[in-house]
């Protein structure tokens, strides 16, 4: 069973690097928003091992009216643990936390190849795919929070 706990931005760097940005430096895994007021980071732990991460930043999405909103960034699960449902457990936890905080919306720039994953979690896509140089094709995904 996966346990979700708050973690620091620094705790996310190794998984961000190995899963999301293996072709870049560890410095590229440090996001400017990591320490903005209201930002938080969550980790999914399996038998005490950090296996999944996600970061959330107060950031409205220009194309969506719902506010306040949070941006999900740096969502990743170690490949050998993807059958443990760590990512979906972490997202469900975050959605409840954000709703309790009064957020109306959570959104992200999702890599196109994981669009179906977010759709299974009840997220919707918006707009056309776009390229983030050095990373790949993305699409905006979002979920309104009750």
Query: Is the pTM value of this prediction over 0.85?
Result: yes
137, β-bridge pairs: 131
DSSP string covering 72-113, please? EEEEEE-GGGGGG-HHHHHHHHHHHHHHHTT--EEEEEEEGG
Q: Which residue has the tokens 């790949």?
A: 136
Q: What is the pLDDT along the chain (146 residues), one digit of tens a residue?
A: 899 999 999 999 999 999 988 887 788 888 889 999 999 999 999 999 999 999 999 998 888 888 899 999 999 999 999 888 999 999 999 999 999 999 999 999 998 888 999 999 999 999 888 888 878 889 999 999 97
Residues 6+ apart with CB under 8 A from 46: 1, 2, 3, 81, 84, 86
> What does DSSP say about strands 124-132 and 105-111: parallel, antiparallel, or unpaired?
unpaired
């Amino acid at each position: 069973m996966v346990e979700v706990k708050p973690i620091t931005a620094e705790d996310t760097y190794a998984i961000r690097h190995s899963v999301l940005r293996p072709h870049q430096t560890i410095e590229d895994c440090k996001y400017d928003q990591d320490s903005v007021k209201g930002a938080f980071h969550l980790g999914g732990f399996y038998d005490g091992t950090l296996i999944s991460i996600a970061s959330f930043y107060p950031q409205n999405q220009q194309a969506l009216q719902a506010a306040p909103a949070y941006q999900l960034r740096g969502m990743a699960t170690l490949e050998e643990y993807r059958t443990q449902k760590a990512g979906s457990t972490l997202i469900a936890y975050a959605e409840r936390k954000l709703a309790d905080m009064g957020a109306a919306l959570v959104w992200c720039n999702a890599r196109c190849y994981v669009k179906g994953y977010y759709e299974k979690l009840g997220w919707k896509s918006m707009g056309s795919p776009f390229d983030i140089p050095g990373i790949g094709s993305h699409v905006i995904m979002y979920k309104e929070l009750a």
